[in-house]
Structure 1
Amino acid sequence: MNEPVLYEFDGGVATITLNRPETRNALTEMEVVDALVASLERAQADLSVRAIVLTGAGPAFSSGGNIKHMRDEVGTFGGNPAQIRENYRRGIQRIPRAFHELDVPCIAAVNGPAHGAGCDLALMCDIRIAAQSALFAESFAKVGIIPGDGGAWLLPRVIGLSRAAEMIFTGTPIDAQCAFEWGLVSRVVPDAQLLPAAQELAQRIASNPPNVLRMSKRLIREGQRMDLPSLLELSAAFQGIAHRTADHREAIAATFEKRAPNYTGE
């Protein structure tokens, strides 16, 4: 069987690819969870990684839960209610926790259907670009379950409460254009241009100082739960660090010398 997740690194950008097209990149097998979490932790630990592109192999981004396993009540879906609770906590819920600890800017390149936990996976990323063939569905109700991996927290923060409720309560998919209009994705591109567009954006992000990128992302994340005075205090502390980096001095020098900066992460 192929590797569940592929990890490639080039020019400051890590490309993480869900690599189980035979299951439409389902997320609930433990080996997929382990591999995806390990890839995120690898990127977090490597200070040369300045941006991440996350995508799926084959025609789907991710189908979310493995519906065959649901039918057979195995894997994540095996055992009594208490055991299923633990399966979720020790399994797929490790993915949103890993994303929450990730300071590297992350782009979801949604190459096809993103259903259930697959939709939530896209929401865990900072930026979402959709191929024209992409579909997004909070499809849990259609299989008689609830969002179990954080979708009820993520989706309202991205598209607002009313539209999130519509998606969750109906389970009806929305296409890429609707996702764009609702603010779920920042742009829609032809299928063949998806990865080039995501990589180009990732490279533009990666051209900036890596420590500034990570601190900026942390400010955005913390700002979702802090009041303004608390965020201002954290911003001041981060700014004190940023002002005394070699990359800050390089940025100022490059501006005055009218040349491209060369950032080292120092």
Structure 2
Amino acid sequence: MSEGTAIAYAVEDGVATLRLDRPERRNAIDDAMRGEMIAALEAAASDPAVRALVITGSGTAFCAGGDVRGMQQRLSAPQEDVAFNGWSRQQRTHRAVALLHNLPKPTIAAVNGAAAGLGCDVALSCDFVIAAEAANFTMSFIARGLIPDGGGMYFLPRRVGLARAKELVFSGRRVGAAEALSIGMIERVVPDAELLPAAQDWARQLSAGSPAALALAKSVMDRSLEMSFEQVLAEGAKAQALCYTTGEHRASVAAFLAKSKKP
């Protein structure tokens, strides 16, 4: 395991576990965490030993969102610099969320407590969300006079529908794990003590197949809601052509044919 100021990262049995590690700040995301998160996700994407990734939080919270102290520093800058400084910080945030969303491997958010604001965005950017019974989700941006800026306005409507997503963003209300499951915001709820082992076991199950086929299927499906039927078929055909050339496909066909020849 390597430990930085704000992120703990470890790989075991093909599963990378990325832990937001500022429990004293409820894992609120500051500039240091953004940088370390980007580095960890880039490492996971390029490491062939990593077949799936789980992201979780230390302590009692998953992630309380953006660090309000960072917001205070931004607002204390000269007025002419506020907008550009905020834009620059947004680019780093978007880089981290995009890396997580586009990781060519299955990703699971194991939400151990509050996932608020940007923390909720981060969880929803994963392929799947599993939550502890004590977890909750809040699109809390409205309480700060802000809008979801970490992909939530893209991810949330695709999970719960447009009208319900608007209601959650406009109200900023807290959604418990049971309700989140019932509205399709998340996929699973487990007892608190079972969360991380359950997430890691699920990650191993999801990543047992061909890494190439998984990556290619994910790349097409993540764009499928923006494409026509014909476009999905065309993108799928290109991806399938690549699958035909992989060692996993060749080995699978050879094993099937060898088995079928046995008396």
| TM-score, structure 1 normalization | 0.89
DSSP 3-state at the match of 1:35:
helix
2:47 alignment partner in structure 1: 46
Paired residue type of 2:175: I
Runs of 5+ in structure 2 lacking a partner? Answer: none
Paired residue type of 1:41: E
% same residue: 39
Q: Hey, what's the Cα distance between the residues in 2 that align with 1:127 and 1:78?
A: 38
Paired residue type of 2:12: D
DSSP 3-state at the match of 1:136:
strand
Two-structure CA RMSD over aligned residues (Å): 2.0
1:261 alignment partner in structure 2: none
Summarize the alignment of residues 202-241 of structure 1 with structure 2, pairs less than 5 Å apart. 202-241=203-242
Summarize the alignment of residues 155-174 of structure 1 with structure 2, pairs less than 5 Å apart. 155-174=156-175
2:24 alignment partner in structure 1: 22
1:169 positional shift: 0.4
Give CA deviations for 1:75-123 in whole Å, capped at 9, x if unaligned.
5885534224423333322222223432111000001000000000001
Give CA deviations for 1:18-43 in whole Å, capped at 9, x if unaligned.
1111111111x111001111111111
Check whether the contact 1:77–1:87 (CA below 8 A) recurs between aligned residues: no
Check whether the contact 2:132–2:195 (CA below 8 A) recurs between aligned residues: yes
Give CA deviations for 1:198-225 in whole Å, capped at 9, x if unaligned.
0111111221111111111111112132
168-177 or 145-154: bigger deviation:
145-154
1:264 alignment partner in structure 2: none
Q: Hey, what's the Cα distance between the residues in 1 that align with 2:166 and 2:186?
A: 18
Paired residue type of 1:116: G
**Is 1:5 aligned to residue 7 of structure 2?**
yes
Summarize the alignment of residues 1-266 of structure 1 with structure 2, pairs less than 5 Å apart. 3-27=5-29, 29-70=30-71, 73-75=72-74, 78-80=77-79, 81-255=82-256
Check whether the contact 2:137–2:176 (CA below 8 A) recurs between aligned residues: yes
Runs of 5+ in structure 1 lacking a partner? Answer: 259-266
Q: 1:26 to 1:187 in 2, by over 3 A?
A: same
DSSP 3-state at the match of 1:128:
strand
Q: Hey, what's the Cα distance between the residues in 1 that align with 2:256 and 2:76?
A: 56
Give CA deviations for 1:113-142 in whole Å, capped at 9, x if unaligned.
000000000011000000001000000111
Q: Hey, what's the Cα distance between the residues in 1 that align with 2:75 and 2:39?
A: 19
Q: 1:171 to 1:242 in 2, by over 3 A?
A: same
1:256 positional shift: 5.9
Q: Hey, what's the Cα distance between the residues in 2 that align with 1:256 and 1:166?
A: 54
Give CA deviations for 1:120-173 in whole Å, capped at 9, x if unaligned.
000110000000010000001112222122211221111111111111000000
Count of residue correspondences: 255
Q: 1:126 to 1:76 in 2, by over 3 A?
A: farther
Q: Hey, what's the Cα distance between the residues in 2 that align with 1:4 and 1:245?
A: 38
DSSP 3-state at the match of 1:146:
coil
Q: Hey, what's the Cα distance between the residues in 2 that align with 1:256 and 1:77?
A: 69
Check whether the contact 1:51–1:206 (CA below 8 A) recurs between aligned residues: yes
| TM-score, structure 2 normalization | 0.90
Q: 1:116 to 1:252 in 2, by over 3 A?
A: same
103-112 or 239-248: bigger deviation:
239-248
User: Runs of 4 or more off by more than 4 Å in structure 1?
Assistant: 75-79, 253-258
Q: Hey, what's the Cα distance between the residues in 1 that align with 2:211 and 2:4?
A: 32
229-238 or 241-250: bigger deviation:
241-250
Q: Hey, what's the Cα distance between the residues in 2 that align with 1:217 and 1:79?
A: 44
